[in-house]
Amino acid sequence: MACFLASAFLFILQTFAAPPQASISLNGINLNDEDVTLSPPPGTSKRPPHSIIIGVRKGGTRALLEMLDIHPEVAAAATEVHFFDWDENYAKGLEWYRELMPYSYPHQITVEKTPGYFTSTLAPERICAMNSSIKLLLILRDPAERVVSDYTQVYFNRLENHKPVQAIENLLVRNGALNTGYKAIQRSLYDIHMRNWLRHFPLEQIHIVDGDLLIHDPLPELQKVERFLNLPPRIVASNFYFNQTKGFYCIRSDGRERCLHESKGRPHPVVNSTVLQQLRSYLQEHNRTFFRLVKRTFNWQ
Protein backbone atom coordinates (compact mmCIF):
# COMPACT_ATOMS: atom_id res chain seq x y z
CA MET A 1 0.00 0.00 0.00
CA ALA A 2 2.85 2.39 0.86
CA CYS A 3 4.41 1.76 -2.55
CA PHE A 4 1.06 2.26 -4.29
CA LEU A 5 0.41 5.58 -2.59
CA ALA A 6 3.94 6.79 -3.27
CA SER A 7 3.63 5.74 -6.92
CA ALA A 8 0.36 7.62 -7.28
CA PHE A 9 1.88 10.71 -5.69
CA LEU A 10 4.83 10.59 -8.08
CA PHE A 11 2.50 10.19 -11.06
CA ILE A 12 0.57 13.30 -10.03
CA LEU A 13 3.78 15.25 -9.57
CA GLN A 14 5.08 14.20 -12.97
CA THR A 15 1.76 15.00 -14.66
CA PHE A 16 1.52 18.56 -13.38
CA ALA A 17 5.19 19.46 -13.13
CA ALA A 18 6.50 22.04 -15.57
CA PRO A 19 8.72 20.68 -18.37
CA PRO A 20 12.37 20.23 -17.34
CA GLN A 21 14.58 23.24 -17.83
CA ALA A 22 17.13 23.21 -20.62
CA SER A 23 19.83 22.60 -18.06
CA ILE A 24 19.63 20.77 -14.75
CA SER A 25 22.28 19.59 -12.33
CA LEU A 26 21.95 16.12 -10.87
CA ASN A 27 24.47 15.39 -8.13
CA GLY A 28 26.97 17.69 -9.79
CA ILE A 29 26.31 16.29 -13.28
CA ASN A 30 25.14 18.96 -15.70
CA LEU A 31 22.44 17.56 -17.94
CA ASN A 32 21.16 19.30 -21.05
CA ASP A 33 19.56 18.44 -24.34
CA GLU A 34 22.90 17.55 -25.93
CA ASP A 35 23.61 15.05 -23.14
CA VAL A 36 20.46 13.03 -23.70
CA THR A 37 19.89 13.13 -27.47
CA LEU A 38 22.99 11.33 -28.72
CA SER A 39 22.24 8.80 -31.44
CA PRO A 40 21.80 5.39 -29.80
CA PRO A 41 23.32 2.19 -31.18
CA PRO A 42 20.79 0.55 -33.54
CA GLY A 43 18.28 -1.63 -31.73
CA THR A 44 18.97 -0.18 -28.27
CA SER A 45 16.97 2.03 -25.94
CA LYS A 46 17.22 3.61 -22.50
CA ARG A 47 15.16 2.01 -19.78
CA PRO A 48 14.86 2.32 -15.99
CA PRO A 49 17.19 -0.08 -14.18
CA HIS A 50 16.08 -3.65 -13.65
CA SER A 51 18.40 -3.87 -10.64
CA ILE A 52 20.19 -1.39 -8.38
CA ILE A 53 23.29 -2.02 -6.29
CA ILE A 54 22.20 -0.03 -3.24
CA GLY A 55 25.39 -0.21 -1.17
CA VAL A 56 27.18 -0.27 1.09
CA ARG A 57 29.85 2.45 0.76
CA LYS A 58 33.33 0.86 0.74
CA GLY A 59 31.70 -2.54 0.54
CA GLY A 60 32.81 -3.35 -3.00
CA THR A 61 30.03 -1.80 -5.11
CA ARG A 62 32.40 -0.74 -7.91
CA ALA A 63 34.00 -4.19 -8.04
CA LEU A 64 30.59 -5.86 -8.14
CA LEU A 65 29.31 -3.63 -10.96
CA GLU A 66 32.42 -4.05 -13.10
CA MET A 67 32.45 -7.80 -12.58
CA LEU A 68 28.76 -8.03 -13.49
CA ASP A 69 29.47 -6.00 -16.60
CA ILE A 70 31.37 -9.02 -17.93
CA HIS A 71 28.00 -10.66 -18.52
CA PRO A 72 26.79 -10.07 -22.09
CA GLU A 73 23.22 -9.59 -20.89
CA VAL A 74 24.08 -6.82 -18.41
CA ALA A 75 24.29 -3.12 -19.30
CA ALA A 76 26.03 -1.29 -16.47
CA ALA A 77 25.35 2.40 -15.83
CA ALA A 78 28.55 4.42 -15.87
CA THR A 79 27.24 7.28 -13.74
CA GLU A 80 26.67 7.18 -9.99
CA VAL A 81 24.02 9.82 -9.29
CA HIS A 82 22.68 9.47 -5.72
CA PHE A 83 19.34 10.39 -7.24
CA PHE A 84 16.96 8.73 -4.79
CA ASP A 85 18.22 10.78 -1.86
CA TRP A 86 18.11 13.95 -3.99
CA ASP A 87 15.77 16.69 -2.74
CA GLU A 88 15.25 19.15 -5.61
CA ASN A 89 12.80 18.81 -8.52
CA TYR A 90 12.25 15.16 -7.74
CA ALA A 91 9.44 14.52 -10.22
CA LYS A 92 11.40 16.17 -13.03
CA GLY A 93 14.60 14.48 -11.99
CA LEU A 94 13.06 11.02 -12.30
CA GLU A 95 13.01 11.36 -16.07
CA TRP A 96 16.56 12.63 -16.12
CA TYR A 97 17.58 9.69 -13.95
CA ARG A 98 16.18 7.32 -16.54
CA GLU A 99 18.09 9.17 -19.25
CA LEU A 100 21.34 8.49 -17.37
CA MET A 101 20.84 4.76 -17.82
CA PRO A 102 22.94 3.16 -20.58
CA TYR A 103 21.58 2.20 -23.96
CA SER A 104 20.74 -1.48 -23.84
CA TYR A 105 19.46 -4.18 -26.15
CA PRO A 106 16.09 -5.84 -25.47
CA HIS A 107 17.75 -8.99 -24.12
CA GLN A 108 19.86 -7.03 -21.60
CA ILE A 109 19.10 -5.88 -18.08
CA THR A 110 20.29 -2.51 -16.83
CA VAL A 111 22.14 -2.29 -13.50
CA GLU A 112 22.93 0.93 -11.64
CA LYS A 113 25.02 1.32 -8.50
CA THR A 114 24.99 4.07 -5.91
CA PRO A 115 26.38 2.92 -2.54
CA GLY A 116 24.86 5.81 -0.59
CA TYR A 117 21.35 4.44 -1.11
CA PHE A 118 21.66 1.85 1.65
CA THR A 119 22.04 4.45 4.40
CA SER A 120 19.59 6.94 2.85
CA THR A 121 16.31 7.45 4.68
CA LEU A 122 14.61 8.50 1.42
CA ALA A 123 15.88 5.95 -1.10
CA PRO A 124 13.85 2.85 -0.14
CA GLU A 125 10.44 4.51 -0.46
CA ARG A 126 11.40 6.34 -3.66
CA ILE A 127 12.86 3.29 -5.37
CA CYS A 128 9.77 1.33 -4.35
CA ALA A 129 7.59 4.06 -5.88
CA MET A 130 9.54 3.84 -9.13
CA ASN A 131 9.43 0.04 -9.31
CA SER A 132 8.13 -2.02 -6.41
CA SER A 133 9.33 -5.28 -8.01
CA ILE A 134 12.91 -4.16 -8.72
CA LYS A 135 15.70 -6.51 -7.67
CA LEU A 136 18.16 -4.98 -5.23
CA LEU A 137 21.80 -5.96 -4.69
CA LEU A 138 23.45 -5.14 -1.39
CA ILE A 139 27.15 -5.84 -0.98
CA LEU A 140 28.48 -5.82 2.59
CA ARG A 141 31.79 -6.51 4.27
CA ASP A 142 32.96 -6.78 7.87
CA PRO A 143 31.51 -3.56 9.35
CA ALA A 144 34.61 -2.74 11.41
CA GLU A 145 36.86 -3.17 8.37
CA ARG A 146 34.40 -1.04 6.41
CA VAL A 147 34.82 1.78 8.96
CA VAL A 148 38.60 1.70 8.49
CA SER A 149 38.21 1.62 4.70
CA ASP A 150 35.79 4.56 4.89
CA TYR A 151 38.35 6.53 6.90
CA THR A 152 41.10 5.58 4.43
CA GLN A 153 39.16 6.94 1.47
CA VAL A 154 38.46 10.25 3.22
CA TYR A 155 42.07 10.43 4.43
CA PHE A 156 43.53 10.15 0.92
CA ASN A 157 40.91 12.49 -0.53
CA ARG A 158 41.85 15.13 2.01
CA LEU A 159 45.54 14.65 1.31
CA GLU A 160 44.97 15.07 -2.42
CA ASN A 161 43.02 18.28 -1.76
CA HIS A 162 45.68 19.60 0.64
CA LYS A 163 43.33 19.52 3.60
CA PRO A 164 44.32 18.63 7.19
CA VAL A 165 43.93 15.01 8.28
CA GLN A 166 43.50 13.30 11.63
CA ALA A 167 44.61 9.93 12.91
CA ILE A 168 41.77 7.43 12.84
CA GLU A 169 41.95 6.98 16.63
CA ASN A 170 41.13 10.67 17.10
CA LEU A 171 37.93 10.20 15.13
CA LEU A 172 36.93 6.87 16.64
CA VAL A 173 37.39 7.95 20.26
CA ARG A 174 36.23 11.12 22.00
CA ASN A 175 36.82 11.76 25.72
CA GLY A 176 37.86 8.17 26.23
CA ALA A 177 34.68 6.66 24.74
CA LEU A 178 33.84 5.37 21.29
CA ASN A 179 32.58 8.22 19.11
CA THR A 180 29.35 6.54 17.98
CA GLY A 181 28.32 9.73 16.16
CA TYR A 182 31.21 9.35 13.70
CA LYS A 183 29.59 8.97 10.27
CA ALA A 184 31.79 6.04 9.31
CA ILE A 185 30.48 4.11 12.33
CA GLN A 186 26.88 5.11 11.61
CA ARG A 187 27.20 3.70 8.09
CA SER A 188 28.26 0.34 9.54
CA LEU A 189 25.11 -0.11 11.64
CA TYR A 190 23.68 -2.44 9.03
CA ASP A 191 20.67 -3.49 11.08
CA ILE A 192 19.32 0.06 11.35
CA HIS A 193 19.55 0.69 7.62
CA MET A 194 18.23 -2.76 6.71
CA ARG A 195 15.07 -2.21 8.74
CA ASN A 196 14.31 0.84 6.61
CA TRP A 197 14.61 -1.20 3.40
CA LEU A 198 12.51 -4.06 4.76
CA ARG A 199 9.66 -1.63 5.38
CA HIS A 200 9.36 -1.24 1.61
CA PHE A 201 10.76 -4.45 0.09
CA PRO A 202 10.49 -8.11 1.05
CA LEU A 203 13.76 -9.80 1.91
CA GLU A 204 13.38 -12.00 -1.20
CA GLN A 205 13.95 -8.92 -3.39
CA ILE A 206 17.25 -8.03 -1.73
CA HIS A 207 20.24 -10.22 -2.51
CA ILE A 208 23.19 -9.73 -0.17
CA VAL A 209 26.63 -10.20 -1.68
CA ASP A 210 29.42 -11.06 0.75
CA GLY A 211 32.00 -8.41 -0.06
CA ASP A 212 34.75 -10.19 1.85
CA LEU A 213 34.22 -13.35 -0.20
CA LEU A 214 33.98 -11.38 -3.44
CA ILE A 215 37.49 -10.03 -2.83
CA HIS A 216 39.03 -13.45 -2.16
CA ASP A 217 37.03 -15.63 -4.57
CA PRO A 218 34.72 -13.62 -6.86
CA LEU A 219 33.21 -16.35 -9.02
CA PRO A 220 30.88 -18.05 -6.47
CA GLU A 221 29.42 -14.73 -5.36
CA LEU A 222 28.82 -13.65 -8.96
CA GLN A 223 27.17 -16.95 -9.82
CA LYS A 224 24.69 -16.33 -6.98
CA VAL A 225 23.96 -12.89 -8.44
CA GLU A 226 23.39 -14.42 -11.89
CA ARG A 227 20.80 -16.75 -10.40
CA PHE A 228 19.13 -13.95 -8.41
CA LEU A 229 18.82 -11.80 -11.55
CA ASN A 230 17.65 -14.78 -13.64
CA LEU A 231 20.63 -14.43 -15.94
CA PRO A 232 22.05 -17.39 -17.85
CA PRO A 233 25.44 -18.46 -16.42
CA ARG A 234 28.04 -16.64 -18.48
CA ILE A 235 30.66 -15.52 -15.95
CA VAL A 236 33.44 -18.09 -15.57
CA ALA A 237 36.69 -18.53 -13.65
CA SER A 238 38.80 -17.46 -16.62
CA ASN A 239 37.24 -13.99 -16.37
CA PHE A 240 39.42 -13.32 -13.31
CA TYR A 241 43.10 -13.36 -12.49
CA PHE A 242 44.89 -12.47 -9.29
CA ASN A 243 47.16 -9.45 -9.57
CA GLN A 244 50.07 -10.03 -7.19
CA THR A 245 51.13 -6.39 -7.27
CA LYS A 246 47.70 -4.99 -6.38
CA GLY A 247 46.77 -7.86 -4.11
CA PHE A 248 43.28 -8.48 -5.51
CA TYR A 249 41.49 -10.01 -8.47
CA CYS A 250 41.32 -8.19 -11.80
CA ILE A 251 39.02 -8.78 -14.77
CA ARG A 252 39.66 -10.48 -18.10
CA SER A 253 36.98 -10.25 -20.80
CA ASP A 254 36.65 -9.60 -24.54
CA GLY A 255 40.40 -10.16 -24.92
CA ARG A 256 41.22 -7.33 -22.50
CA GLU A 257 42.49 -7.23 -18.94
CA ARG A 258 41.62 -4.49 -16.48
CA CYS A 259 41.89 -3.78 -12.77
CA LEU A 260 39.91 -1.46 -10.57
CA HIS A 261 41.02 2.14 -10.24
CA GLU A 262 44.21 2.74 -8.26
CA SER A 263 42.12 4.32 -5.49
CA LYS A 264 40.75 0.83 -4.75
CA GLY A 265 42.65 -1.47 -2.45
CA ARG A 266 44.65 1.25 -0.72
CA PRO A 267 46.55 0.06 2.37
CA HIS A 268 44.68 0.63 5.61
CA PRO A 269 46.30 2.32 8.59
CA VAL A 270 47.27 0.19 11.57
CA VAL A 271 44.62 0.95 14.18
CA ASN A 272 45.37 0.86 17.90
CA SER A 273 44.26 -2.61 19.02
CA THR A 274 42.33 -1.32 22.06
CA VAL A 275 40.41 1.17 19.96
CA LEU A 276 39.70 -1.45 17.29
CA GLN A 277 38.36 -3.82 19.95
CA GLN A 278 36.10 -1.03 21.27
CA LEU A 279 34.72 -0.64 17.78
CA ARG A 280 34.18 -4.36 17.25
CA SER A 281 32.49 -4.75 20.63
CA TYR A 282 30.09 -1.93 19.88
CA LEU A 283 29.19 -3.41 16.48
CA GLN A 284 28.61 -6.96 17.75
CA GLU A 285 25.02 -6.50 18.91
CA HIS A 286 24.13 -4.61 15.74
CA ASN A 287 25.63 -7.47 13.73
CA ARG A 288 23.58 -10.06 15.61
CA THR A 289 20.41 -8.08 15.01
CA PHE A 290 21.27 -7.79 11.32
CA PHE A 291 21.82 -11.56 11.07
CA ARG A 292 18.33 -12.12 12.49
CA LEU A 293 16.80 -9.66 10.04
CA VAL A 294 18.36 -11.26 6.95
CA LYS A 295 18.22 -14.85 8.22
CA ARG A 296 21.89 -15.57 7.59
CA THR A 297 25.25 -14.99 9.22
CA PHE A 298 28.57 -13.61 8.04
CA ASN A 299 32.10 -14.30 9.18
CA TRP A 300 32.67 -10.91 10.79
CA GLN A 301 34.91 -10.52 13.83
Q: Is position 31 within any domain?
A: yes
User: Which of these ranges, 36-40, 138-142, 176-180, 211-215, has the smallest mean pLDDT?
Assistant: 36-40
Known binder of ligand: residue 149?
A: yes
Arithmetic mean of pLDDT, 2-31:
42
Q: What are phi and psi for residue 256, nearest 5 degrees?
A: -120, 155
Stretch (H or E) spanning 280: helix 273-294
Number of domains in the chain: 1
The reported pTM is 0.87
State the chain's mean pLDDT as an integer: 87
Question: How large is the average pLDDT for residues 174-202?
Answer: 97
- Contact status, residue 266 vs residue 156, Cβ threshold 8 Å: yes
User: pLDDT at position 5, please?
Assistant: 47
pLDDT, tens only, 77-114: 988 878 887 766 667 778 888 888 999 999 999 999 99
Over residues 259-278, mean pLDDT: 83
Residue 224: active-site member: no
Annotated binding residue at 141?
A: yes
144 pLDDT exceeds 90?
Answer: yes
What is the C-alpha separation between 128 and 124, in angstroms, rounded? 6
Domain extent for 79: 2-294
122 belongs to a structural domain: yes
Return the C-alpha torsion angle 102, 105, 109, 113, nearest 10: -10
Flag whether pLDDT at 16 surpasses 50: no
In a domain, 230, yes or no: yes
300 in a structural domain: no
266 is in an annotated binding site: yes
Residue 146 annotated as part of some ligand binding site: no
90 labelled as ligand-binding?
no
Question: Alpha-carbon distance 58 to 118, whole Å?
Answer: 12
Q: 60 in a domain, yes or no?
A: yes
What does the pLDDT read at residue 243?
Answer: 87
- pLDDT of 83 reads 83
Q: Is 289 one of the annotated binding-site residues?
A: no
Give the domain CATH number at 246: 3.40.50.300
The answer to whether position 301 is within a domain reads no
| Alpha carbon 169 to chain centroid, angstroms | 27
- pLDDT tens for 275-285 read 999 999 999 99
Q: Is 267 a known ligand-binding residue?
A: yes
- Selecting among 46, 58, 92, 113, the annotated active-site residue is 58
User: Does residue 283 form part of some domain?
Assistant: yes
Would you say 151 is a known binding-site residue?
no
User: 59 a known binding residue?
Assistant: yes
The verdict on residue 299 lying in a domain is no
Q: How confident is the model at residue 60 (pLDDT cuts 50, 70, 90)?
A: very high
**pLDDT of res. 193:** 98
Note whether 252 and 90 are within 8 A (CB). no
